[in-house]
Structure 1
């Protein structure tokens, strides 16, 4: 699929070559800044003695410096002279100070950006009217990142050009979140800012396209986007039958988040004329992340076998550990053929949605629905579910109900107590359908042509990447305060993304509803009985959980299996750990998947979506790839030199890996 030319092979797949490009960034510096003109842009680093026309020019200079370095700024203090004219100003890093709040003892504290940073710049006016920098402190007590600069409030501004574009688009009926941002704009506004500027939005009026335009679009993407993959399935008469595609960012993200995927075919087939399918994972913030998608001609097993095999080819034969789908038999058969070792789970939301219809007008319909929900959500063991199910069938004379019988026979695919011992990345029963529907709504309409669909899909994907970038920025620049003084809470606060730390913190504070009732000791472990008071709809019920704890290894296992299922430690285990004076947990209970301090290769992949401005890290990555490609062309014919360079790369890789993972 990745060669130097585009060809259609016998299987109907299109092969196209990869090409790379890079963006040059130039900066300048000077050893004698005071010799420059006032406020000249080449003065990159603030130095005592630098002079400017007025305080506004100083602030803009400091903002530009902060933008290059990667921290937010604000005006901290100003002082006027006896004549009422401004004489002194102080600009600081926005992370200066500490937030003091009456709600500091809240069990759900809000994230704060403030870390007590001392970085600042102070200046005063001179008799001649010019302004001079009197003091500068450049050191920060937090991480800085140029790639995050555009998201800080002080840099989020809507340029005149952007405003004009939004106004024109609004008149044309284009929603603000679909507008293309100019590539040349250095500081851009976020989607929320555009929405605030254009309060009233309208939908796009889309025309029709054809399969030739679709092929042309894919060819263009594979030329401009290194690693872009697509495959087209043609029938015997060379007519378009099925399509699959994934850009390089999706492919690299699959390496990290492709262990558990959801596969959905219902979105566009239910609402539009386009049979759109997609593979979705969950990233380190718990957000849905697109891993690949396709257009299919029908929904039979042969089609899904082709689609799944194409996914494997695209993802270098890495099959998911778990896959979530609806109850479609054709999908199930295809999974058994292509992914024989993958755990297959049905979406519980769809099953419970069908339940009222399948029960029909039974005299005890309400009681049956309540009983099924209780069995689904309250039973902790498989035996408990099976006994309760059989009793329900007997009580309501449902032993001959065909649909319920079929559900029971496949109980290992949908009942939580049969699935909770496997890792499902915390995917909820409704996340698979609801999140992706909300993602594509507003971008695609019933009259959308294939070509326009792909273009709209790219704009929607850009919006999704932007939301992930914002979540990364939030976890980088903010911190949710701890609500206790336990070291265990601080341990997770320091390494988890904000969304995942909040999940852990909710379990941690939830221990106040738990009480350890008893403990049974054995030679190898202790089994604790923990009672939880579960509050719901103004009422409360009590539930018993069992936690097995091995003190020597500091290992635990709770009957709720929240850690195995979601990767988050449950309140019951936390109660037992604190009872046993465990201060810090072993590294195996801190999942790399949820950490914010991990370098994730897929985020460095250059993005070629319309309007996306690459981060400095993505630009450097692209430049390195291009440089190594040129080097490979020069030495590939020389075995001795080639081996020498490979040895040097191995040494550099080992050294850098040690530095990043000491």
Structure 2
């Protein structure tokens, strides 16, 4: 049908009532043909919670339907539904964490957790520890190691563990945290929560990397303790900066490591 505007009125200028295409074109992507069952939506929700990529979700759904050509929707439709699910999960994750922590605290009075919130009451950082970790800290908490090297894969938040070691060489995890960033204010809040959880007992020494924000927060919260730089980070920097010197002086690399690792002088 062809319609044209003439003299201010729309007029049909040509009309062909004969069909010029098949009555059933078989397109599975017509809006009227797109259909996602409740079972498929539930399966997508489950796979999203397991962090399965959209392309693999589509493959699974196509297999269930009997082939990709039997799937009445495309990858974009699955992706759009996945985005809706992600929004729901983002809004409920913090509540689920808080409910879990409250349950643990009810089961054990020694469980301790704390959440930092911003001006809009939005959670920024989370800190937690349990009764056994707090007990081990009282015994072996003179020296602790603190690092934020690891990032969580979903929210890209730095994971911050407080780790110690016993006189017998056994490693203990004293506390953990997920922090919003690596600024001095965030570290200061985190160290304050750690101090509160451990009954006000501060470590005698703490080992970190060469992060200036950590150094600033440690001076504020643990002013009496000795702050040491992690040997791994020091040696890594030395090897990066002194690589050519070691190459030009045969035996210097071995002597350097012998002095560092086998020193008999108390530091």
For 2:218 and 2:250, the matched residues in 1 are separated by 31
Q: Is the counterpart of residue 312 in structure 1 residue 195 in structure 2? A: yes
The CA distance in 1 between the partners of 2:184 and 2:146, in whole Å, is: 14
| RMSD value, Cα | 3.0
Match of 1:298 among 181, 188, 199: 181
Aligned mates of 2:185, 2:256 — CA distance in 1: 36
Residue 242 (structure 1) aligns with: 125
SS in 2 for 1:276: coil
Q: Deviations 1:97-145 (Å, cap 9, x if unpaired)?
A: xxxxxxxxxxxxxxxxxxxxxxxxxxxxxxxxxxxxxxxxxxxxxxxxx
2:115 aligned with 1:232: yes
| Greater Rg by CA | 2
Change (3 A) 1:313 1:416: farther
Structure 2's unaligned 5+ residue stretches are: 1-49, 51-85
The residue number in structure 1 matching 2:170 is 287
Where does structure 1 lack aligned partners over 5 or more consecutive residues? 1-172, 174-206, 379-414, 421-559, 566-662
Look up the SS of the partner of 2:124 in the other structure: strand
Deviates more, 1:266-275 or 1:214-223: 266-275
For residues 370 and 346 of structure 1, do their structure 2 counterparts lie closer, same or farther at Cα, with a shift above 3 Å needed? farther
1:371 aligns with 2:252: yes
- Displacement of 1:335 after TM fit? 1.1
**Cα gap change, 1:284 to 1:212, in 2 (>3 Å):** same
Partner residue of 1:324? 207
Quote how far apart the aligned CAs of 1:253 are: 0.9
Q: 1:215 to 1:346 in 2, by over 3 A?
A: same
The 1:369–1:228 alpha-carbon spacing in structure 2 relative to 1, beyond 3 Å, is: farther
Q: Is the 8 A contact 1:259 1:322 kept in 2?
A: yes
Please state if 1:218 is matched with 2:101.
Answer: yes
> Counterparts of 1:416 and 1:344 in 2: how far apart (Å)?
20
How far apart, CA to CA, are the structure 1 residues paired with 2:124 and 2:187? Answer: 12
Per-residue deviation, residues 626-660 of structure 1 (Å, max 9, x unmatched): xxxxxxxxxxxxxxxxxxxxxxxxxxxxxxxxxxx
Q: Call closer, same or farther: CA 1:228–1:259 in 2, change over 3 Å.
A: same
Seen in structure 2, the aligned counterparts of structure 1 residues 347 and 318 have a Cα distance that, compared at 3 Å, is same
Corresponding residue number in structure 2 for 1:264: 147
The equivalences for 1:50-129 within 5 A come to none
Closer/same/farther in 2, CA of residues 223 and 374 from structure 1, 3 Å limit: same
Equivalenced residue count is: 179
Q: Closer, same or farther in 2 for the Cα pair 1:372/1:348, shift >3 Å?
A: farther
Residue number in structure 1 paired with 2:236: 353
What is the TM-score when the length of structure 2 is the normalising length?
0.59
SS of alignment partner, residue 151 of structure 2: helix
TM-score (norm 1): 0.25
1:156-175 CA-partner distances (Å, limit 9, x unpaired):
xxxxxxxxxxxxxxxxx9xx
1:614 corresponding residue in structure 2: none
> Could you say what secondary structure the match of 1:289 adopts?
strand
SS across alignment from 1:267? coil
Q: CA deviation at 1:285?
A: 3.3
Counterpart in the other structure of 1:273: 156
Structure with the greater relative contact order (CA < 8 A, sep ≥ 6): 1 or 2?
1
Change (3 A) 1:374 1:250: same
In structure 2, relative to structure 1, the CA distance for the partners of 1:358 and 1:214 (3 Å cut) is same
